[in-house]
Chain A
Amino acid sequence: MKFSFSEEQEEFRSFLRRFLEEKSPTTEVRRLMATDAGWDKDQWQKINTELGLTAIAIPEEYGGQGFGLSEQCIVLEEMGRSLICAPYFSSAVLAANALLYGASEEYKKKYLPEIASGDLTASLAFTEESGTWDIPSMTMCANKNQGVYNLTGVKSFVLDGHMSDLIIVLAKVDDNSGSQRLSLFSVEGTAAGLEKKLLNSTDQTRKLAKLIFNEVEATCISTEEDVTDAMQKTFLKSCIGLSNEMVGGAERLREDTLEYVKMRMQFGRSIASFQVTKHKATDMLADVELAKSAAYYAAASFDDEESDIAATASIAKASASEAYMQTAINAVQMHGGIGFTWDNDTHLWFKRAKSSEVFLGTADFHRELMMQSWDQ
């Protein structure tokens, strides 16, 4: 398996890093996170048009660039590092993969090129108020009335759900044999009967919405086949993507903290000269580097279609959840009082660490998944 970045990939990464540092400094992150929308349409379109970020992992036949998950994970890692406020994870990861694996050819052709170009933003509404990430546990049902589907019920924790042009909804339908199957539906963000409630998320850079469906007309975009497997694949791929985004943030926090302790003088000496600080900094390095290895390995395994990918994805997510949060806790501690203030940037990543720790499943949840996949 190819498990090291090529020169081109490294160049792409450093270019992207410089670009995001310039376009999305924390002043910009702070400005956008305080808005309801959470991102700036014009600005994001400019960035995206220049770099083609939303197109990167969408197959060429659907208007994308056809790169693998490994390449997209470079984008995600750098985005996690910069905390850029943009509807990327919702559209280019969750929704795009749900369409790619779960939609019929007709709807792939209809939506994916528009997502690739960045003209269309989309959200995947699969989780509900219970907060479970377990695909088969979803309860919403679609009713068919005179050949038209409509949806009633609540989807929650929907990333960017308050702002997206298109909502992809996971719901059950009755099939002809009297049992139920999971299907995918599309709903316009402006559809009648759809109430979109922006939730107060602790991590203001990651907007979550509750979507209340009241007999909303919906188009079934999957085939006659049950989409459970397709959604599981979407889910694990998204977990790998999120893990890579998370290790990017964790590394940035680790580096910023190291820089801070080297600068900070107390008791007539650099606090970086205290052995307890040096050892903690080394622990942080180990946490982040091991989580990075798991995230990179998972992305490469996905591209290589390794058979153990479900367990690997869960290892990556569990590892990233623990490492990012622990790094954030250490970062605040090592900054001391200043690290607890709103003005200091540490809390921006601390909160992203917290939301990512839980989003798509906590470490415990993923540890159980990995045990199930090994203990079959």
Chain B
Amino acid sequence: MSISEEQVRNEVRAWLEENWSPNLDLVEWRLKLADSGWGMANWPAEWYGRDLPVSLVPAIDEEFNRIGALTIPKSGIRMLAAATILNHGSDMHKEKFLKRIITGEDVWCQLFSEPGSGSDLAGATTKAVMVGNKWVVNGQKVWTTSAHKAHWGLLLARTDMDETKHRGLSYFIIDMNQPGVETQPLMQMNGHASFNQVFLTDAEVLPDFQVGEMGDGWQVATTTLMHERRAADSLRSWGQASKGDGPIYDQERVETETTMQPYKWYPQRAGRVDLIMDRAKETGAINDPAIRQEIAKLMTLHKSAEWTARRARAAQEQGKPQGPEGSLGKLAASNVARTAAKVHTLISGADAMLTGEDSPMDGTIAEILVSFPASSIAGGTDEIQKNIISERVLNMPKETRFDADKPFKDIPRNTVS
């Protein structure tokens, strides 16, 4: 029997009235949300949810927001972990991890990318070998957010070199606090270190901590990655901590700040189009006819990308099938970022050579100029993106594969990885 939005709203409202208080401790409040199922209402009723359709979640969030009650942040690696565990995990995994994911007590990280496999994620060479009654893991992972603070890692590792590439992978949950796991910050070209490298040297995983069967690793990882794309979309809304007075708000603010710390330069990565007109006026570049043209080109690109996203959303709201406009956002965004960096350079002139406090806006402009290249790489390079669009949207022939059918050990790999 389906339940109406009105009914759900009434139920939440009644429950909140009885339970919400800004004077609660953050973990205490989230425990209530876990036990009542109102924190992750679309989860199964037996696992801290209420079996409600995901389409009703916005209405529930609205009821929370209406009275300033805190919701569970629905993004971050720990939510990827939750989605993966709910889909593929054992009852033991659900029992052990889900509640502490909701409360935020456990920090999670994702150990997929390697120095030798970025776009080609399934080419992972980190190995897990059964020694005695444990998995022993050796290899190197990279681009791992929060690895140094993480309690648990989602690990993709090779368990069979004789199997084909995709079938030779398995998926594990690894305890990050053990001698075999060493994390090091990875310094980026813009001076930030938002990610880690993780060195796994005889790190151990108990057999119970495998997710899915042997050789299911790629399939399980696909679930995680699917949710990663959604989580990336909601990252922005998460960045804005709830407004309110009381200890619980302060606790959430601290948590949000810590979580958002690695992403501080993300607005600069996107090109900061919002600064362009003010900077042009302030520097007088607005009076240069050549620069005016470049600014207008950027704005044309920026606006038409924004309207394309709106068009895709409008079609989605009407229940139409996704047209090609829905797949172009990421490519358009990296084009905007690249163009914006160029225009910021034109506007800043000689100052574009400086960084830090010597550069305009206390280094913000300089940060744009050395951060934008990440846009066309992170989360799928422009080139991979174009392969995907040409094959899935334009129905052009798929790339010839040289690695699909043979044992992984026979596939050529980097001589230095």
- Which A residues fall within an 8 A CB radius of B? 3-4, 258, 261-262, 270, 272-273, 275, 277-279, 281-283, 285-286, 289-294, 296-297, 312, 315, 318-319, 364, 367-368, 370-371, 374-375
Contact = CB atoms under 8 A, between A and B. Distances in A.
Given A3-B310, A282-B331, A282-B390, A315 B383 contact: no
Interface string B394-411: 111101100000000000
Name B's interface SS.
helix
A37 B357 CA distance: 67
Nearest to B398: A273
Contacts of A318: 296-297, 300
A367 B300 contact: yes
Contact of A281 (B286, B300, B394): B394
A2 B129 CA distance: 58
A375 B287 CA distance: 10
B8 interface: no
Contact of A294 (B297, B303, B324): B303
A90 B296 CA distance: 29
Given A279-B390, A286-B328, A289-B328, 9 more contacts: A273-B400, A289-B308, A292-B311, A292-B325, A294-B304, A296-B307, A315-B300, A315-B304, A371-B286
A368 B295 CA distance: 10
A364 to B, nearest CB: 6
Given A289-B324, A367-B292, A294 B389 contact: no
Contact of B308 (A275, A279, A290, A370): A290
B286 A375 contact: yes
B323 to A, nearest CB: 8
B396 A290 contact: no
B386 A279 contact: yes
A278 B310 contact: no
Nearest to B335: A286
A368 B292 contact: yes
12 contacts: A3-B307, A3-B311, A4-B318, A262-B395, A277-B396, A278-B396, A282-B389, A289-B325, A296-B311, A315-B303, A367-B296, A368-B296
Given A4-B315, A282-B389, A294 B300 contact: yes
B324 A275 contact: no
A318 B303 CA distance: 12
Interface of B: 277, 281, 286, 289, 292-293, 295-297, 299-301, 303-305, 307-308, 310-311, 314-315, 317-318, 320, 324-325, 328, 331-332, 335, 383, 385-387, 389-391, 393-397, 399-400
Of the listed residues A272, A283, A291, A367, the one surrounded by the most CB atoms of chain B closer than 10 A to its CB is A367
Nearest to A10: B320
Contacts of B310: 3, 293, 297
Nearest to B289: A368
A290 B332 contact: yes
B304 A371 contact: no
Nearest to B399: A275
B305 A371 contact: no
A297 B307 contact: yes
A336 B180 CA distance: 58
A281 B297 CA distance: 22
Contacts of B393: 285
Contacts of B324: 285, 289
A279 B383 contact: yes
Nearest to A258: B394
A292 B391 CA distance: 22
Contacts of B325: 289, 292-293
Nearest to B286: A375
Nearest to B331: A286
Contacts of A297: 304, 307, 310-311
A278 B300 contact: no
Given A4-B315, A282-B394, A319 B296 contact: no
